[in-house]
Amino acid sequence: MLGVITRVLQSISYVTSIPEPGIRLLFAILCGYLLAWFQRDFLHRKGATVKHVYFSLTGFGLAYFCYGIYVYHSLISILVNYLLLAVLGGTLPVVVVSFIFNLGYLVIAYLVVSTDDYDILWTTPQCIMCLRLIGLAFDLYDGNRPQEELSKEQSQLCIKTAPSLLQVTSYTFYFGGYFVGPQFAIRRFQDFVDEKFLANTDGKPPDTTLPALKRLFLGVVYATVHTIVGSMFTTEYLTSQEFDNSSLLYKVFFVAVWGRILIARYISVWLFAEGSCILSGLAFNGHDEYNQVKWDGVANVRLRIYETTWAWKGCIESFNINTSQWAARYIYKRLRFLGNKMYSQALTLFFLALWHGYFIGYFVCFFFEMLCVQLENHVTALVAKSPRLQNFFSHPVVRPIAFVCSRALTISVMGYAVVAFTLLRYHRFSQVYYSMYYIWHWLLFGWIPLFYFVLNPMFRKPKSNASQEPEKTTEEKKTE
């Protein structure tokens, strides 16, 4: 049977020109729907141990199908992290050791096996595990801290006791999140296994088929767009002589569309994975104001916002949501002791870049993100200081024009940043930037002195006359 599946996948790979590792990964993610259906309908009301065994064995089987013997890297990570938590408990040194071990293991793996291309290797799930296991150590640490020291979020996600080896294995190998995410805390996973997410009072399996199929359908749409349109906007063309000889306006247009289509690949696999999480019941997120069940608890992309936002910040908040939330929860907010949001943001983005890999392109891309967010913050601050600007941008004629221009700029700069994220090495992506005359570099780096030395002083609110007048003495007040 396995041989037949392998030959079929090889044939699909040959016909579609998609590398076989990618086909195997997609097959494993889609198998999650069958496994989720079986778990939801046939393991309902079974004990937690039965489910943990099921998730461990099925996840391990799919991992072995995709990565063969290299699945032992996952087993090593699971065992080391379990021993850390079981032996040493929820302490700060354990968090530090877990952080160093998991991130160090991942970076060393990148150094050993990564190439200049987009690799689909055992390092793909390893990077997912890296965050999940670091977060596990943080959650146990929070559970052993005084309650008054915890934030509301930390109180909701912390755990008091170290999970068993079977629970850690199940949490790691769960088929809906092992391969490409999403990230979720172990507290959510435990509540899911304990059937606290049934979304009904009858004790029946949750009705998740329709919302799961919706995400599956949207995933197919994005995958189709990526396959068809992506064949016309290829990465290879960026470094071709034909691209270099094109006009600047065409290059800006091509990079903007190319980046958008490339990102559709990530969106499609996230939607596929989210659908299986919904079908199994893990994605339960309470009820809305109309008492309708929400199944977006592990959503990794909010398509309506992503496809309509005019701002870079909106893209960040609607794209790769769970990773961003993880970074905010376990990195950014834990750096408050620095006393500077800019430093915290920079270190968080540095971590995310290193988590993706050691190539300079990742760091350039995330540095662009930080600059874009700062530019938007600056523009927002300037508009807030000027009633004239507020009236101008709120004008019925100006508002749609400003929206279109802002959205076009956001998409263009995002594609420009993704060039470095995709080509990775400096000599490759710098060739593209050079041919585009570093157009968006000039905007982002030129904005900094323009804002601080020209625009900000120009729009600074003048002090009111009342504040400039000397305070009257008591005798003067009596005279009045």
Residue given tokens 């290193």 in the structure block: 354
Task: Please list, in sequence order, all residues whose beta carbon lies within 8 angstroms of the beta carbon of residue 327, skipping any fewer than 6 positions away.
Answer: 348, 351, 352
Residue type, 453: F
Burial (CB < 10 A; 0-12, 13-18, 19+), residue 335, is: middle
Distance CA 348, CA 191 (A): 29
- Other Cβ atoms less than 10 A from the Cβ of 30: the count is 15
Give me the active site residues, please.
320, 356
Coil vs helix vs strand at 69: helix
Nearest CA to 40 among 30, 59, 28, 55?
A: 55
| Dihedral of alpha carbons 57, 61, 63, 69, sign | positive
Distance CA 117, CA 363 (A): 16
CB 165 within 8 A of CB 281: no
Per DSSP, what are the bridge partners of residue 319?
301
CA 433 to chain centroid: 26
